Amino acid sequence: MLLLTLLDNFYSYSPQKIVDENYLSRALLQLISQKTKEYEVEFEYVGLHQPGNRPMIAMKGKDEKFVKNYLIHEFGTIYEFESLQPGQIVRGRFRDPETVNFGLFIDCGIEKPEKDALYPLFEMRAQLCSNHKVSKRQLVNAYGFFENMPMYFEITHVDRDNSKAECRLAKKSLDMIQMWISDGFEMLFSSGEPRKRIKKAIKFTKHYPDYIIIERMGFLETVVYLKQGTSAPGILADIGPHLKNTQFSMFRPQNIVELYQSKNSKN
């Protein structure tokens, strides 16, 4: 039997911040079982790893080693700080994008000590706007980055003396973002609820004809790809009232055009 602690965590945006562990653990096991149904492995929910409210999954079966590596790629896992190496590719999640102006903090599951990696503003500018002197807030707003948004990151620097790490978006995530731009569709991001609840709200508000596909970004993070000509703010205005414990963000290609046109922005 193998034990795996996932990076994806259980959280809630309800006013009381109460996490329904029973519901979420069942939904997570169902999702994992669906993704690995071709392999001989059984799963058991063990509990929440602290810090971080990270679910622990036990697995047993002939394919357990392969499935564990697959789940690490899909959901991420935790790492001890001493094991980090420059060039290492990890799955990470944005912390609150509004905390600081000099970059974004990324939860990469770093422990002993517990640390977030910094995605510095100079790296953001180099990767996302051809080194144009725009602010972090402008970059966050243009690309729709949101708290708990999962991406893949490359560790670029490890300062072992001061227990600090820096990172940048990995090629896999950069390629995905470039696809968003080239496709030209608006997208609506959500966090805090499993995908099936997002689909239910879209169905209830009769917006089935307005989207192409609804994809999971993480366990509780979803992206809705909208059809050409469909407005993300318009969809949000309709489904938002039915998803009160959900936070939303959006990607609009026009925002990228405006980002490159902006001048004389503050850091």
Predicted confidence at residue 63, as pLDDT, reads 98
- How does pLDDT run across 57-113, given as a tens digit for each residue? 999 999 999 999 999 999 999 999 999 999 999 999 999 998 888 999 999 999 999
Full domain range(s) for residue 15:
2-63
Mean pLDDT of the chain: 95
Same domain assignment for residues 163 and 244: no
Number of domain units in the chain: 3
The stretch 12-16 carries a mean pLDDT of 93
Q: Are 51 and 123 found together in one domain?
A: no
Residue 37 has pLDDT above 60, yes or no: yes
**Mean pLDDT, residues 148-160:** 98
Provide the whole-model pTM: 0.93
Q: Residue 193: its pLDDT value, please?
A: 94
Instruction: For residues 222 and 133, state if they share a domain.
Output: no
Let me know whether 87 and 172 are in one domain.
yes
Task: Report whether pLDDT(263) > 70.
Answer: no
With respect to residue 260, please indicate whether it lies within any of the assigned structural domains.
Answer: no
Local confidence band at 260 (pLDDT 50, 70, 90 cut-offs)? confident
What share of the chain in percent tops pLDDT 70? 98
Last residue of a domain, one of 132, 156, 177: 177
Examine residue 262 and state whether it is found in any structural domain, yes or no: no
Does any domain span residue 206? yes
Residues 120 and 173 reside in one and the same domain: yes
259 within a domain of the structure (yes/no):
no
Dump pLDDT digits (tens) for 155-186. Answer: 999 999 999 999 999 999 999 999 999 999 99
pLDDT of residue 207: 96
Q: What is the mean pLDDT of residues 224-245?
A: 96
Please state which of the ranges 147-151, 158-162, 263-267 shows the lowest mean pLDDT. Answer: 263-267
- Contact between 151 and 173 (Cβ < 8 Å): yes
**Where residue 106 sits, what CATH number does that domain have?**
2.40.50.140
Is the pLDDT at 266 greater than 80? The verdict is no
Q: Are residues 122 and 161 in the same domain?
A: yes
Q: Are residues 152 and 199 in the same domain?
A: no
Q: What is the pLDDT of residue 264?
A: 46
Percent of the chain with pLDDT over 90: 94
Domain holding 209: CATH number?
A: 3.30.70
What is the structure's pLDDT at 216? 96
260 versus 234: the higher-pLDDT residue is: 234
